[in-house]
Amino acid sequence: MSHPYVLLSAAVSLDGYLDDTGPDRLLLSSPADFDRVDEVRASVDAILVGAGTIRADNPRLLVNSPERRAARVAAGKPEYPLKVTVSGSGDLDPDAKFWHTGGDKVVYTTDKGAERARAAGLAADVVSLGADLDWPGLLADLWARGVRRLMVEGGGKIHTQLLQQGLADELQLVLAPLFVGDATAPRLFGPGAYQGGRLRLVESRQIEDVVLMRYEPTAPGAPAADRHWLRLACDLAALCPPSRTAFSVGAVVVAADGTELARGHSREGGDPVVHAEEAALAKIDAGDPRLASATVYSSLEPCAQRASRPAPCARLILDAGVRRVVTAWREPDTFVEGADGSGLLAAAGVSVVVLPEFEEQAKRPNLPLLG
Ligand SMILES: NC(=O)c1ccc[n+]([C@@H]2O[C@H](COP(=O)([O-])OP(=O)(O)OC[C@H]3O[C@@H](n4cnc5c(N)ncnc54)[C@H](OP(=O)(O)O)[C@@H]3O)[C@@H](O)[C@H]2O)c1
């Protein structure tokens, strides 16, 4: 199932709270940071908040800058991103500002919640996801509606689930210089199982008196982390010196805790026949104990037959002891009839995952070969 890129956005106090318990919304960000949030909103196809946030804050969730809205329209997009909410109960106030500002709205709910939401006459498309709310199903439905980038603006229950289920591609966290100090106030993340290891800090930036930190999950197996690493493998494929006799491929080997062990691309370092997975694996000590639980990300499935070297990449992966491969694209018959590197790996017990949403990107440097 293809999913949009999921960006979680939140502001927290120094003691980790999203809000206080007073009747009004606690303003954590600074004016310049609110403007940054407006810019991020303008860049996405949809904005999601939980029903709890609609009840607590009654937000409008608009792109406030007329210039940014005009730029969206000029680019052929709707003036406002799609507004999305999630409710199990369907208990939503039809007079909330959410429904009466901005563009189209969608409510994802359960069978029971849908009855109640429809009876309330909400100005929105009400979609039931069955007896329980299923996040991958929700994201797949958004993808089918053309949503490629989704911004999630809370609250804590929503952020917690998306991160724990490995569905968040990025966390944009703003730390505000104040304390809430009330144990009953809502926290950003609740208890439960998160990815092991450390997230990758991709940016930190001071904005007036707040600090923005951007993190990406990295541990293989989480859908968002798999997408992160496969995207990188596809970017590496674009670095390959062109060839008329071999594909351009990128590969990354990643340890179970999200540490990058090595990367490679076809024909790197002046070697006219080296393959991406071969180049990456050659940079790792064969005795490295992390290989047994590592994942190889390769923009094209590892080769099963090869004239240029004795061992194809599927064999090199097996010999390295790697048990998981993620790829974007199955090898066409261009150079080898019926190549089936994925089948060879799977027959040897390796788990092979294909993420077709990256196929176009993986093929791009190879278009001259594909005709
Ligand atoms: N500082 C910030 O950046 C920020 C941003 C947003 C919100 N907030 C604050 O966060 C607080 C609200 O957070 P919250 O955690 O209470 O609420 P929330 O995450 O906004 O919404 C939770 C609600 O979403 C629905 N929901 C979530 N997961 C579901 C699932 N798996 N199945 C069915 N329904 C599901 C449920 O709705 P039903 O109850 O209808 O079933 C649930 O009560 C407010 O105080 C708000 O001010 C702060």
| Nearest atom within ligand 1 for CA of residue 185 | 45
Check if the beta carbon of residue 199 is closer than 8 Å to that of residue 34.
Answer: no
Q: 370 pLDDT exceeds 90?
A: no
Name which residue sits closest to atom 30 of ligand 1, judged by CA.
Answer: 133
For residue 156, report the distance from its CA to the centre of ligand 1, in Å: 6
Give the CB-side neighbour count of residue 295, counting CA atoms within 13 A: 28
**pLDDT (0 to 100) of residue 306:** 85
Name which residue sits closest to atom 48 of ligand 1, judged by CA.
Answer: 18
Q: Is the peptide bond before 155 cis (omega within 30 degrees of 0)?
A: yes
DSSP E strand boundaries for the chain: 5-12, 46-50, 82-86, 105-109, 125-128, 149-152, 170-175, 200-207, 210-216, 250-254, 260-265, 295-298, 324-327, 351-354
Lining residues, ligand 1, CB within 6 Å: 10-11, 18-19, 25, 28, 49-53, 56-57, 86-89, 91, 133, 153-158, 161, 186
Q: Quick one: what percent of the chain has pLDDT higher than 70?
A: 100
- Classified as helix, coil or strand, 320 is helix
Q: Are residues 130 and 257 in the same domain?
A: no
CATH number for position 154: 3.40.430.10
Find the domain containing 210 and state its range. Answer: 5-216
Q: How many domains does the chain have?
A: 2
pLDDT tens for residues 161-206?
Answer: 999 999 999 999 999 999 999 999 999 999 999 987 789 999 999 9
Distance between terminal CA atoms of the chain? 28
CATH number for position 252: 3.40.140.10
Name which residue sits closest to atom 27 of ligand 1, judged by CA.
Answer: 158
| Nearest atom within ligand 1 for CA of residue 132 | 32
Q: Are residues 359 and 237 in the same domain?
A: yes
Q: Are residues 238 and 157 in the same domain?
A: no
CA gyration radius for the chain? 23
**pLDDT (0 to 100) of residue 323:** 96
Q: How confident is the model at residue 308 (pLDDT cuts 50, 70, 90)?
A: confident
Q: Are residues 262 and 354 in the same domain?
A: yes
For residue 47, report the distance from its CA to the centre of ligand 1, in Å: 14
Q: Are residues 231 and 192 in the same domain?
A: no
Domain boundary (216, 247, 266) is at 216
Q: Are residues 63 and 157 in the same domain?
A: yes
Domain boundary (216, 236, 264) is at 216
Q: Are residues 116 and 239 in the same domain?
A: no
Q: How far apart are CA 254 and CA 71, in angstroms?
A: 39
**pLDDT (0 to 100) of residue 369:** 87
Q: Are residues 236 and 209 in the same domain?
A: no
Q: How far apart are CA 226 and CA 219, in angstroms?
A: 8
Q: How confident is the model at residue 76 (pLDDT cuts 50, 70, 90)?
A: very high
Q: 68 pLDDT exceeds 80?
A: yes
Domain boundary (216, 250, 265) is at 216
Q: What average pLDDT does range 4-22 have in this prediction? A: 96
Name which residue sits closest to atom 31 of ligand 1, judged by CA.
Answer: 133
Q: 332 pLDDT exceeds 90?
A: no
pLDDT tens for residues 223-249?
Answer: 889 999 999 999 999 999 999 889 999
pLDDT tens for residues 270-295?
Answer: 999 999 999 999 999 999 999 999 99
For residue 155, report the distance from its CA to the centre of ligand 1, in Å: 4
Q: Are residues 180 and 275 in the same domain?
A: no
Q: Are residues 70 and 190 in the same domain?
A: yes
Q: What average pLDDT does range 129-135 have in this prediction? A: 94
**pLDDT (0 to 100) of residue 122:** 93
Q: How far apart are CA 116 and CA 203, in angstroms?
A: 43
Q: Are residues 28 and 94 in the same domain?
A: yes
Q: 297 pLDDT exceeds 90?
A: yes
Average pLDDT across the chain, whole number = 95
Q: Are residues 205 and 324 in the same domain?
A: no
